[in-house]
Amino acid sequence: MALWDRRLHIVTGKGGTGKTTIAAALAVALATGGRRVLLTEVEGRQQIAQLFDTPPLPYRERKVASAPGGGEVFALAIDADEALLEYLEMFYNLRRAGRALGRVGAVDFATTVAPGVRDVLLTGKVKEAVNRPDGTRPSGLAYDAVVLDAPPTGRIARFLNVTAEVAGLARMGPIRAQAEGVMKVLAPERAAVHLVTLLEEMPVQETVDGIRELREVGLPVGAVVVNMVRRPLLAPAELDLARHGQLDYEELVTGVKEAGIEPTEELIENLAWEAAQHAERVALETAQRAEIAGLDRPVCEVPMAADGVDVGTVYQIAELLRSQRMNP
């Protein structure tokens, strides 16, 4: 099944690499052309609301954006306490009892009895959204796709591998059934885990490790999204010279003069030093790019937005992801 056509897209990556931004852009991209997509987060940080400039999301799905061609993006901040109450009600008609347990206390209690329950509650809610029927829609489903702004790479395999997490629980019970339902939704024909990285050593290393861990537990690895890519400011031959401190001094002087600046010796030396730094960084990026290529996954590059990310940038990144279908 082509990556683009999967129903559940999970976006992970090292902290701060752009998971929320890319997840939001992917949701808009998947909604483009008239589809309905749910964008979810599970870490209680309200990052989706911040990105779309809307008030904090309640535990209720709310439309946050329109996509070109009549598409709609809904968003949901999944909360473990609320998910537990919903779960108790669904299986035991126990919502009121759940409330009586005290909102925070209930999940703490459940998590103490069985570590891993929190993750099953969170992923269980994602599963419910993926599978939710809606007879009024052509697909028969409430959402054509679900995008999850997921925990970071270091925790993703454990977070998703819920059956292993709750293996200590009774072999049958409803939590176990819930975990098995989650694993079904995470099958390769239905889901993909995309990894966001930068062209830097640490995030790339986390991507390499993350992909290995996901593969070890049989979770479907999707694309690698290289975010915040900057174009080199010099041509390859110039970069080579700059790196070895061999830029033509006279040319630098001429260039600086043409820019209407007094070419003092200090200025020219600083300029050559900056060029060397830049060339060094580009060389490191080239090495990281090669490492990423070796992962044998579709790679999608997203440029650095000079003025930071706003809703407009999210739409631009969405168009880029859509035109490549994450699979250039």
Ligand X SMILES: Nc1ncnc2c1ncn2[C@@H]1O[C@H](COP(=O)(O)OP(=O)(O)OP(=O)(O)O)[C@@H](O)[C@H]1O
Q: What are phi and psi of 250, to 5 degrees?
A: -60, -40
Which member of 17, 20, 32, 153 binds Mg ion (CB under 5 A)?
20
- Contact code string over 243-282 relative to ligand X, x by CB under 6 A: ----------------------------------------
Task: Give the shortest CB-12-to-ligand X separation in angstroms.
Answer: 9
Identity of the residue, 15 or 245, whose beta carbon is nearer to ligand X in the bound complex: 15
Q: Which does 18 bind (CB under 5 to 8 A by kind): Mg ion, ligand X, none?
A: ligand X
Rounded to the nearest angstrom, the gap between the alpha carbon of residue 119 and the centroid of all alpha carbons in its chain is 18
Return the one option of Mg ion, ligand X, none that residue 44 interacts with (CB less than 5 to 8 A, by type).
none
**Which C-beta is closer to Mg ion: that of 47 or that of 123?**
47
- 253 or 305: CB nearest ligand X: 305
CB 47 to ligand X: min, Å = 6
Q: Does 226 participate in binding ligand X (rule CB under 6 A)? A: no
Using CA atoms, how far residue 39 sits from 35, 130, 140, in Å, is 13, 11, 19
Partner whose footprint covers residue 305, from ligand X, Mg ion, none (CB < 5 to 8 Å by kind) = ligand X
Complex with ligand X: residue 16 or 133, whichever CB lies closer: 16
Q: How far apart are CA 129 and CA 83, in angstroms?
A: 12
| Given 126, 302, 314, 321, the residue binding ligand X (CB under 6 A) | 302
CA 194 to chain centre: 7
For residue 70, state whether it binds ligand X (rule: CB under 6 A): no
Q: Which stretch binds ligand X (CB under 6 A): 29-37, 64-72, 176-184, 304-312?
A: 304-312
Question: Computed over its alpha carbons, how large is the radius of gyration of the chain?
Answer: 24
**How many of the chain's residues bind Mg ion (CB under 5 A)?**
3
Q: How far is CA 19 from CA 41, 151, 179, 225, 263, in A?
A: 10, 9, 25, 9, 44
Contact positions with ligand X (CB under 6 A) in 7-46: 13, 15-21
Closest distance to ligand X from the beta carbon of 299 (Å): 15
Query: Does residue 197 bind Mg ion (CB under 5 A)?
Result: no
**98 vs 152, which CB is nearer to Mg ion?**
152
Strand partners, 193: 10, 221
Residues 81-140 that bind ligand X (CB under 6 A): none
> What is the x/- site pattern for ligand X, positions 143-162, by CB under 6 A?
---------x----------
Site residues, ligand X (CB under 6 A): 13, 15-21, 47, 152, 227-228, 302, 304-305, 308-309
Site residues, Mg ion (CB under 5 A): 19-20, 47
